[in-house]
Structures are given as structure tokens and as C-alpha cells.
Amino acid sequence: MRVAVDAMGGDYGPDEIVLGAFQAAQEYEQEGIEIVLVGDQAQIIQALDRHGKWKEGNITVQHASEVIDMHDSPGAAVRKKKDASVVVATGLVKQGHCDVVISAGSTGGAVAAALFGLGRIKGIERPAIATPIPNLTGTTVLLDSGANVDSKPKHLVQNAIMGSIYAEYVLNIPRPRVGLLNIGEEESKGNEQAFTTYPLLTQLNSVNFIGNVEGRDIPKGTVDVVVCDGFVGNIVLKFGEGLASAILQLLKQSIKSGNLWTKLAAMLIMPTLRGLKKKLDHAEYGGAPLLGVNGGFIICHGSSRAKDIKSAIRVAKEFTEQEVVAHIRETIAKEGIVTNE
Amino acid sequence: MRVAVDAMGGDYGPDEIVLGAFQAAQEYEQEGIEIVLVGDQAQIIQALDRHGKWKEGNITVQHASEVIDMHDSPGAAVRKKKDASVVVATGLVKQGHCDVVISAGSTGGAVAAALFGLGRIKGIERPAIATPIPNLTGTTVLLDSGANVDSKPKHLVQNAIMGSIYAEYVLNIPRPRVGLLNIGEEESKGNEQAFTTYPLLTQLNSVNFIGNVEGRDIPKGTVDVVVCDGFVGNIVLKFGEGLASAILQLLKQSIKSGNLWTKLAAMLIMPTLRGLKKKLDHAEYGGAPLLGVNGGFIICHGSSRAKDIKSAIRVAKEFTEQEVVAHIRETIAKEGIVTNE
């Protein structure tokens, strides 16, 4: 299996991206993983050389001279910067040379590159980003977490199908409970979008729809797949990141400002705190797949470090081996969803 | 100042509501606070008698024979149940007998009772619930947190003005930073609603608009007033409550399952943990005002206990003394907003 890694994207590219890919290449070599690092060849090789012997290994470099950054308008940039690292990486999948792309670059740029380069699965009008969130008992997948805004009810229906497949095949949750994110449990609650989506979700054969869920159900873990508009999903996700890090920071501050006993306690409790942080840390969950395009595409957080990239490569491996794209294609056809805008 | 307390609403009414009101009546008696408990007279008096001498104090009871609960359709219930506790309490303010209402009952019922009983301030089309959220450095006010969904841009503009006044006069934040909740900082980001609202917010004279803010800015404390649709606000708020309690639960679990040293550490660190919980606890912030109606109306969480009600009475006092309603009326007029649907 070949993984195309956009080496230039993200806050810590190319160094941390290359390091993560290098570690994954070593660790997963026996499992048949090959990494293609895409981006500025000189910079990538310089970074690889720092990490040791790689030339005889399972890493190759594909040069790309441009980068799509946060200031680019995604749609225009993908068309104009034909040699951008994320565009070239996506092309490797399109051409069948690689199986899956990983990018920590501009999310808009990644979505545009995937749409433009791979196209949509028949029946899917708007691909969605599915982000795994840790909860008290396991993981909840939230989608869409930012690929689209102003989604129509039919788009949320498509999200429900795709999210359910991802949860079942990659997160190993049998018959995942799928909920519609809303402001109350009753069917009559919510905005126009939710109100119209609810009855459509009850008609799906492939989805175990449990009804409306509220914000608090996500951390509680009473739902496996949460369906929402990308505007809401993105705000919830970023609020959660901010809140978790604020809570840990408050805890550390109050420990530091304590007396000798509190400081001793803090030392004893640090492993627990670190374990908690790990649980909350998106790194452990690797990337979030863009579901609905004709090929594997894993989007990483812009602040991804080496360990995040390594995690994302593991996710990419699962995604590919479990044939998520094929499952989506079949299920969408079975549900009788044939629209493509 | 007279405070009308809906004694029947909420998960723990009337007992905990009555207890909270009783404590507030004792503590704030010197400050001229009088409490009118509204609801089933027999139940209220029974609860009061359990707490001690009250008959010579600053508490009176106003009988109301009905209750609006979670299963009622708010609009219909307010019209039909004319003797519902929240309707009678609102009537006391309407008639000038009380200055402000407090209710922990059905939020929909409370909003409907306020709209129907007090009416809207001229220029405000949709009143909004303004919820204070603790952040790393103080408090951020989120509005609307659930009174309305499918808000139009002009409603968000009205929210910005009202939230700014509340933050300035009640939370004592001079020239509050007001942000529009969005999925990116750039003006071009977001859904149709946010995109259309942004330029309108830049035109306000009375509001210190700092542009778009993201979910993570709320706990960080880089913004004082966050403006959003009630659908988004309610989901964010409930997600935050759920996440904070999940994090504390995880921390307690991992401490308990630790070795002897970790347990010792846990004992030493418990005061810190409790302080943290207090900071996160909505109780400390009392209720959330419904802004935009002709009178004071403080909405409490359905799970409010005595201390929450006591906090809400303190908020109600500040709200009334600071003449928030009058300030909103003046500012809306000055900004030239005269529409009433």
C-alpha cells in the first residue's frame, strides 16, 4: 500500500511531517506500507538525512514546487497552482500510483484538491470531514466538521450514511448509533435544517438512527456518529479543543500556586494528568478522513507534529484496507441515492 | 426591589428553589431584596417551614395552580395555562408589583411567558438568552444560547448590542470585545448568515466589534461577548457542560484506579479539583438573562439547586440595579434600529 504524504502543509511542515512519515515508514514496513513524500525535494531530503538511513527503505520523494497556504482561495489555488504539493499528492492517487493522501495543509485547499482531483462518489453531493472525538467510553465521530456550510437536509442524510460506514469499518463499532445534532431530543425541536432532516434519516435502511442528540451526548458517549452542518461541527470541535486545554491549564496553574504538599501531590499525579491529556489529544486519533470522494484522503490538524502524522498514516492504512470508499459507493447505491449535482 | 421566583420550575422544584430563595432572602435582606415565591401555596409553605422562621421576613407567597412542563408546547401552554407559575410570576413584573422574574422551568415556556407577558423592547425582534461562560481570565457571554433558531443577520446585530450592554453593566467589562462566532477569522469565512452579518456589525457605533472569533476563543478568553444563532449557541453550551464534567470524571476515575501514592496525591489535590469544578460550574454564574423583553427575566438551568437560585437572585439584583433594560432601549434607539415585526 502506498501513502502520499503532503510534506509541505501544516504549521510544522516539512520537518515534523517528514519525521512522522519516517517513523511510520520504519514501523509499518513489515506491513507493506510505502511512503511517498510530496513537496520541495531539497527540503524533504535534508529533513530525511537528519533522521538517518532512509534511501534503501520504503520512502520515496516526489518533487512539487508549490504550496497552497492559508491565504490562498482554495478553489482558485487548486486550479492555478498545478504543482502544489497537495495537488500533486492527490494526483498520485488519481493515477493509481498511491492509495491514499495525507495532508496537514489548509483544510480548504485539501478539500478542493480532493474534489478536483478525485471527484465525488456517485450519489454524494458534498464530501464531509469525519472527526473522531474521544468520549467517556470510546470515540464519537462528528461529521461534517468543516468541509461544508449551509448544508441541505439531503447532505446531512449522506453524512449519516458515510459516518456510519466509517464508524463500523474503521472504528470497529458494530451497528453504530447515529444521532442528529440538535437542541432537544424531541422530533419537533431545532432549526429548519434539522427539522427537515429528521424524517429523512428515519427512512434509511443502512443507518441505525437513534434520533436527535444534544451537545452533551458527544462527551458522554451515548452516540457513535453525530451528524451536523460543517458550520456547527467546526465550531463545536474548536470549542472542545480550547476548553480541554483551558481546563488542563487551570489545573496545572492551581497546582503550581499551591503549597509544598500540593506540589508533591502534583508530582505524584502527573502521570495521570499526562494520560488524560493523551486521551484528549487529537494526535492519538490521527487524521480525519474526507468522506465522499473517490479515493482515500486523510486531513490532519494544522498543528500536527510527527506523532500526529504517524497516527494519520495508521488511520490511512485502516481506511484503505477496510475499503471504506467501496462500502460508501455500494451503500449509497443500495439506499437509492443517485443524485449528483 | 422585589424578585418574583417561579418556585415550581426545574428538576428540583419546589424544594431547592424555595431553599435558595430563602437563603437569598436572609442574606440580601439588608440590601432591600424582597422575594415573592410563585406556585402551589401549600407546597411552598411546607418547604419554607422546613427551613425555619420566614413569616416575619422578606418572603411572601403568591399562589399559582398550574405548571408549564417540558412536554407542553410553550406558546400554547402560556395562552392556555393562565395560572401557571411562570405566567403569574411574569404578570407580577408586568403589573409593576415585582422588578424581575427568575425561572428554572422549561426554557421555551419561560421565553414564551416573557414575550407574551412583557413584550419586546422597541427595535428588538427576537429576545436572546445571554449565558455567561467561565474562561481562562474571566467570563465570556454567549448569546443567543437557545431562545431562537434560524436567526436573520439583523437579529444577530441586535444580540451584539444587547450582549455588549450586559457585559458592560452587569459583568463590569469596560468596552467589551464583541465577536461573531464563525469557522475562521477572515471576513469571507462562514455560512450565509455569518457572512451577511459581519458587515452589519462593523457599522454599529455602540459595539466594539473585533471581527470573527472561533470556538476556541471562548475558553481562551480573547473575546467578551460572542454572538451566534441560538441553535449553535445551545449546542456549544451543552457540549461544554458535557465535556467539562467528562474531563473531571476521567480525572477522578484515573486517580481512584491508581496506587497508594496516587490516592494520597488525590487526597492532597482534591481542594484544587473542587476549586476547578466551582469555576466550571454554572451555579457560580447564576442565571442567564433573557435580553430584549420589557422587564427583567432571568432563566436558570433546569438542574438548578438552591445555590444556583441564590446566585440567580444576585444576578437579578445586578440586572435591575444596573437598569439593563433601559440601557438596551436607549442604545437600540440611538443606533437607529426601530423595526418591530
For the residues of A69-80, what is the DSSP string, one character each? -TTS-HHHHHHH
Residues on chain B touching A265 (C-beta within 8 angstroms) = 264-269
Q: In this complex, which of B181, B218, B239 lies closest to A218 when CB atoms are compared?
A: B239
Q: Cα distance from A258 to chain B (closest Cα, Å)? A: 8
Distance CA B104, CA B309 (A): 8
Asked if the Cβ–Cβ distance from B243 to A243 is below 8 Å, we say yes
Comparing alpha-carbon positions, the chain B residue that sits nearest to A256 is B272
Phi-psi region of A221 (alpha: psi -120 to 50; beta: other; left: phi over 0): left
Distance CA A276, CA A297 (A): 29
Q: Cα distance from B161 to chain A (closest Cα, Å)? A: 22
pLDDT at A148: 93
From first to last of the 341 residues of chain A, give the pLDDT tens digit. 999 999 998 899 899 999 999 999 999 989 999 999 999 999 999 999 988 777 777 999 999 999 998 888 888 888 999 999 999 999 999 999 999 999 999 999 999 999 999 999 999 999 999 999 888 888 999 999 999 999 999 999 999 999 999 999 999 999 999 999 999 988 888 999 999 999 999 999 999 999 999 999 999 999 999 999 999 999 999 998 888 888 778 777 767 777 777 777 777 766 766 666 666 665 456 789 999 999 999 999 888 999 999 999 999 999 999 999 999 999 999 998 766 55
Asked if the Cβ–Cβ distance from B249 to A136 is below 8 Å, we say yes
Residues on chain A touching B237 (C-beta within 8 angstroms) = 215
pLDDT at A167: 97
Asked if the Cβ–Cβ distance from B269 to A269 is below 8 Å, we say yes
Q: Which CATH superfamily is domain B126-285 in?
A: Isopropylmalate Dehydrogenase (3.40.718.10)
* Ranges assigned E (strand) in A248-336: 288-291, 296-299
The b/e string for A217-241 (b: 16+ C-beta within 10 A; e otherwise) is bbbbbbbbbbbbbbbbbbbbbbbbb
Q: Is B204 exposed, middle or buried (0-12, 13-18, 19+ CB in 10 A)?
A: middle
pLDDT at A276: 65
Specify whether domain A128-283 bears CATH 3.40.1160.10: no
Q: In this complex, which of A136, A191, A261 lies closest to B250 when CB atoms are compared?
A: A136
Domain boundary assignment for chain A: 1-124+292-322, 128-283
Closest alpha carbon to B113 in B83, B143, B142: B83
Residues on chain B touching A236 (C-beta within 8 angstroms) = 215, 235-236, 239
Comparing alpha-carbon positions, the chain A residue that sits nearest to B253 is A272
Class of the domain covering B1-124+292-322:
alpha beta
pLDDT at A285: 63
pLDDT at A116: 95
pLDDT tens readout for residues B118-164? 999 999 999 999 999 888 888 999 999 999 999 999 999 999 999 99
Asked if the Cβ–Cβ distance from A215 to B275 is below 8 Å, we say no
Residues on chain B touching A244 (C-beta within 8 angstroms) = 243, 247
pLDDT at A84: 95
pLDDT at A246: 82
Asked if the Cβ–Cβ distance from B194 to A231 is below 8 Å, we say yes
Asked if the Cβ–Cβ distance from A242 to B217 is below 8 Å, we say yes
Asked if the Cβ–Cβ distance from B215 to A238 is below 8 Å, we say yes
CA-to-CA dists, residue B296 to B63, B103, B291, B308, B328, angstroms? 21, 11, 8, 17, 12
Question: Cell numbers 440538535 label which residue?
Answer: A182
Distance CA B218, CA B224 (A): 8
* Ranges assigned E (strand) in chain B: 2-6, 34-39, 59-63, 100-103, 128-129, 131-134, 139-143, 177-181, 208-213, 225-227, 288-291, 296-299
Asked if the Cβ–Cβ distance from B136 to A246 is below 8 Å, we say yes
Asked if the Cβ–Cβ distance from A262 to B280 is below 8 Å, we say no
pLDDT at B281: 61
Q: Cα distance from B215 to chain A (closest Cα, Å)? A: 4
Distance CA B214, CA B185 (A): 7
pLDDT tens readout for residues B204-248? 999 999 999 999 999 999 999 999 999 999 999 999 888 888 877
Comparing alpha-carbon positions, the chain A residue that sits nearest to B235 is A215
Residues on chain B touching A192 (C-beta within 8 angstroms) = 149-150
Asked if the Cβ–Cβ distance from A269 to B255 is below 8 Å, we say yes
Q: Cα distance from A327 to chain B (closest Cα, Å)? A: 30
* Secondary element (H or E) of residue A4: strand A2-6
* Domain A128-283 in the same topology as domain A1-124+292-322: yes
Beta bridge partners of A252: none
Q: In this complex, which of B215, B255, B261 lies closest to A239 when CB atoms are compared?
A: B215
Distance CA B224, CA B217 (A): 10
pLDDT at B136: 84
Whether B72 has a pLDDT exceeding 70, the answer reads yes
Whether B263 has a pLDDT exceeding 90, the answer reads no
Q: Cα distance from A282 to chain B (closest Cα, Å)? A: 15
Size of interface A-B (CB pairs under 8 A): 170
Distance CA B151, CA B129 (A): 13
pLDDT at B278: 66
Residues on chain A touching B181 (C-beta within 8 angstroms) = 235
Q: In this complex, which of A150, A235, A262 lies closest to B181 when CB atoms are compared?
A: A235
Amino acid making up residue B147: A
Comparing alpha-carbon positions, the chain B residue that sits nearest to A151 is B191
Residues in chain A: 341
